[in-house]
């Protein structure tokens, strides 16, 4: 990917994000996370030059490789994939800015234990399975608020910063919208408890997600397309 194409892709997304956020409010800020899981290190560097600052990976090993190779750039790295317990220590050592996929109380407590042992803290989002799909991980919407509060109470080394969800994997826009609204309602309830980010929306549905109140989107294919 050359600089010109990277700039065009990024500009296109920013223009569409601006259009979507201004329909809500000029004060509604949306953070763009570039999901680089199918991309080369050079593509990430090129997009960084074009102005993109935050990138996300869904495998711990890929996050390590890319963050090591691009160590000289002050990139804000996010971990967005399913986290296996045996990879927790490796992830802590990479020190990502945000772990977006804390998908159960059990995982949070294990994570906290490992963080305490290393005397480290980490920023994270609670993942909600707002579409109630078997193929997705995350806590049930009905339990999300109580689990969030329990993590706040019992996991002092995890700094919860909000929630994340993936829109319903269907063609019907109304069902996708409903899944986003479910997450946004939970997020609103958690704002008094320090929630800052409502991360929802990917390449195929981020404008709809922003219309439903998302303030963080995760785009891969549209940002890295050739």
pLDDT digits (tens, 9 = 90+) for 185-225: 999 999 999 999 999 999 999 999 999 999 999 999 999 98
Q: How far apart are CA 129 and CA 165, in angstroms?
A: 6
pLDDT digits (tens, 9 = 90+) for 163-182: 999 999 899 999 999 999 99
Q: How far apart are CA 107 and CA 101, in angstroms?
A: 10
User: Which DSSP category does 192 fall into?
Assistant: G
DSSP string, 104-117: -HHHHHHHHHHHHH
Taking phi over 0 as left and psi of -120 to 50 as alpha, with beta for the rest, 107 belongs to alpha
User: The whole model's pTM is what?
Assistant: 0.96
- Domains annotated for the chain, with CATH where assigned, are 3-224 (3.20.20.10)
Q: How far is CA 10 from the centre of its chain?
A: 18
Confidence of residue 14 (pLDDT cuts 50, 70, 90): very high
């Amino acid at each position: 990917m050359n600089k010109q194409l990277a700039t065009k892709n990024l500009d296109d997304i920013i223009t569409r994000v601006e259009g979507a956020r201004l329909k809500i409010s000029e004060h509604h800020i949306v953070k763009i996370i570039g999901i680089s899981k199918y991309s080369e290190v050079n593509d990430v560097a090129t997009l960084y030059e074009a102005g993109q600052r935050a990138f996300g990976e869904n495998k711990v090993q890929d996050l390590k490789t890319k963050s090591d190779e691009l160590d000289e750039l002050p990139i804000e790295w996010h971990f967005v994939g399913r986290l296996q317990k045996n990879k927790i220590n490796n992830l802590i050592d990479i020190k990502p800015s945000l772990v977006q996929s804390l998908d159960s109380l059990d995982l949070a407590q294990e994570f906290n234990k490992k963080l305490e042992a290393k005397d480290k803290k980490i920023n994270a989002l609670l993942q909600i399975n707002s579409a109630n799909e078997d193929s997705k991980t995350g806590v049930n919407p009905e339990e999300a608020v109580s689990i969030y509060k329990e993590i706040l109470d019992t996991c002092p080394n995890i700094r919860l910063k909000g929630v994340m969800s993936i829109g319903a994997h269907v063609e019907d826009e109304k069902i996708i919208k409903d899944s986003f609204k479910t997450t946004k309602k939970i997020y609103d309830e958690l704002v008094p408890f320090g929630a800052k980010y409502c991360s929802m929306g990917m390449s195929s549905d981020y404008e709809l997600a922003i219309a439903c109140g998302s303030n963080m989107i995760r785009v891969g294919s549209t940002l890295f397309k050739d």
